[in-house]
Each structure stands twice: as structure tokens, then as C-alpha cells.
Amino acid sequence: MKMDDMVIISVDDHISEPGDLFTHHLSGPALASAPTFKQKSNGSNYWDYQGLKMASVALNGVVGRPKEEYGMEPTSLDQLRKGCWDPAARVDDMDVNGIAASLNFGTLIGLDGLMFCNAPDKTYAVQHVQAYNDYHWFQWCQAHPGRFIMNGILPAWDIDATVAEIHRLAKQGCTSVSFNENPTKRGLPSVHNSYWEPMWKACADTDMTINLHIGAGNPSPHATDESPIEAWITTMPMSVSIGLADWLHLEALHRYPLKIAMSESGIGWIPYLLERADYAHEQHSAWTHSDSYLKGKKPSDVYHEHFYSCFIDDAYGCRNLDALGEDKVCYEVDYPHSDAPWPNAPEVLWRSVSKLSDEVIDKITHKNAMALYRFDPFAHHAKADLTVKALRAKAAANGVDTTVRSTGGAAPENQADKQRAITSGDVNAMFKKHAEAV
């Protein structure tokens, strides 16, 4: 196989939501109380929900900008590539990047519906969740059938509404929902609590995949505020290791055939975590009584039965697929975040998979994602039209422009002093200043 022959599905990308998000599916008091898209006098955008203000974009939408300008800019939608918020333009950006299909997480609403969970008045919050999901399905996914995988959010503070929404989404054709790997961070019971039993059953009954995105629950820690920011960025994918270790010991997994995707996780570190988990079980189970929830299995057995992971650039992980399982690994781009290799995803992916067999490359690039999300792009498009070569040819014919452009005006604040490395403290201060500016 050649690089241009690959068919690539990305299982982790993001949307910077447009201002009319809630106008399509709400009316009356539900619309009047929905999050509102606003603009400050300086042109920056933000969302207002019951007095909770959330900045619109920042580091979440930097593709197409000069890398030296990555930082808290851009701050308004008109500073972004249109593909961040417009599905037709996103398809163009997928074409030029050789991406056949994409699964997206929200930005405004949080990776797991944080905005609605934090709302002090939840009178209409369930309707707002439903409206977001309907926007994602009808305005985003159905605008280009076969190019997007639906990813719903849940009103997790209300377990009955959560179950109802899972079944409603399943009837629409949705096959995955985003969830917090540590819901105690939202003031909700832990995943080991019986509160979630109806959700596990609903996901099993509908064959709904559960997406656990890094950063939604357990934070990505950094050493000190004086540590260079790249040290923090290096470990961000591995922040989900805390959640994974916890979920490997989830008793419900022995009663329900749940499928769990670790989104934006990377893969190279996972074999050691599984090895360590198995050793901890062997060494300590006599006094920890872990067989009460492992039911005679090893933690690594649980992983191979239920979990999937993905990567952007992970040649080491691809050399160790025997420890991961070649059927449990997918690819991600992370568009439009700062880690995204747009518009060069095929080149970055190829350096990780080029030594693998054609069969395994097909699994990692698209077949595993198709199975995990019960998604068939070939029902809408000929496979020959979804290869890297074909999509890039289409983008060229349509004149998709990938010129790097500065749209932020003045140089971003993180470039003021180019004589020293940017630190974790600098970035935390930028986030704080950015939030206070809203």
C-alpha cells in the first residue's frame, strides 16, 4: 500500500460552534433561556448561559495560523478557518487533509456537556442538551452523509433523562455519546456507583459507544508553573491513564458488553499500564479482594474486551500492536486544535504505519473505526473516492486554500518575550486573563 491509497477516518476532532446553534431546534422559553452567542466591542466572541460566560475559541481553533502565533488568539469566529464551524468548509478541509470521515466533540458545551451540568437553573437544560444533539445530527452530520460520525452529549445530572436521550439518539442513528471518565468532577457519583446502572444498560441495549475524552474529568497535571509548556503538552494524552485504570476495575463491564473509546489518548503508553495493572492484581488481590469486580479476569483482559484507543503520531505504539490489539486502535487528527497535523495528516500517519501490513493499515485507518461506531462511509461514497489521493484531488479541483494566514492582528501575548521558553505558568495566566476578559 502507498500513502495515497489509505482511507482515513479520524475519531477525534472538534467543532467551534456557530452563533445560531440553538435557533434551529428551540422556541419560546427554551430558546430564550438557551446559551447566547455574544460579541464584545473589541470583536471577541463569547457564550453566555445563565450568567456563566465561556470564551469562544482561543487555542481550540488555531489550524491555518502561523505556529509562532499559537496562543490565546484567535478569540472570534471570523479569525478561524471556516472549517472550524461550518460543515461544508470542514469537508473541504477534510478533503485537503485526506480525511474520509470525522467524529467531533463540542467546544462551547464542554467535552461532556459541562456547560449544562454547571447550569444553576436546569429547568430547560435537558431541552438544551437535546437541541445541541439535534444541531450536531441535522446541521452537521446529515449535511454531508457518510462524512461525519455522530457524537451525542447527555444530561448526566438526571439519570432518567440520560437514558431517554440515549434511546432517542439511537433512534436517530447516533452510535456514540461523550461521557466524563470521572463524573465526580461534575459533582456526580463515581462510575462505580449504582446511579449509573440504567445508563450502562441503555448503552448496552442500543450498542452505544462511550467516548472518554482526555481533560473532561481527571485534569492533565503539570510539574510546576516554571516547567516549559512542552513538558505539559507531552503528558496530556496520558492524563486519561487515571481514568483508564479506574474503568478497568468497573464491575459493570462484566455484566454489559460496553464499548469504550479513549479519545485523544495516544497508544504507546498503554501496554505498560496494562502490564502494571496485571501485576498489581497478581501481587495484591489476596488482600484487596479485587476478584469481587474482576470476576476471575485480569485487567488486561477487560481492556481487550471493551476498550479502544487512538493516536495522532505514535510509531512506538504501532510497533507494539501485539500488546494493544490491532483491532482496537484508531486514528485521530484533532482538528482544529494546536496538535492537529492539518493539512499533513497522511504524511504524519504514514511514518507510524508504513511498516505494517496492508491489512493492519486498513484496520487502523478506517476499519476499526467503522466497527467501533457502526459507521459505513461506503454506503454513501465509493471507496475509491475516499482515498487520500482522491480527496486531495477533489480539494485541488475545488480550490481549497491552505495558505497559512495571520488573522489575530497584534502578535499574541505569548510571543512578547522570545528569549525564554513559554512555561506552564505562562499558559495558565493566559487562560485566566482570557477568561477574565470575557
pLDDT exceeds 80 at position 256:
yes
List pLDDT tens digits, range 129-153. Answer: 999 999 999 999 999 999 999 999 9
- Pairing type for strands 45-49 and 36-39 reads antiparallel
Neighbours of 324 (CB within 10 A): 21
What's the DSSP call for residue 208?
P
Give the span between the Cα atoms of 430 and 34, in whole angstroms: 28
The predicted pLDDT at position 3 comes to 98
Domains of the chain: 7-437 (3.20.20.140)
128 grid coordinates? 438544551
Opening angle at CA 183, ends 179 and 185, nearest 5: 125
393-433 pLDDT per residue, tens: 999 999 999 999 887 554 445 555 566 788 888 888 877 77
Q: What is the pLDDT of residue 416?
A: 53
The CA distances from residue 223 to 185, 229, 427, in Å, are 21, 10, 13
Residue 171 has pLDDT above 50, yes or no: yes
pTM for this entry: 0.95
Closest by CA position to 185, among listed 239, 254, 148, 133: 239
Sequence-separated (6 or more) residues with CB below 8 Å from residue 86? 18
Q: What is the pLDDT of residue 410?
A: 44
> Is the distance from CB of 308 to CB of 259 less than 8 angstroms?
yes
CA quadruple 30, 118, 426, 233: dihedral sign = negative
- d(C-alpha 254, C-alpha 139), whole Å: 37
H helix and E strand count, the chain = 18, 11
Amino acid at 181: E
What percentage of the chain has pLDDT greater than the value 90?
Answer: 74
Give the three cell numbers for residue 316.
512506538
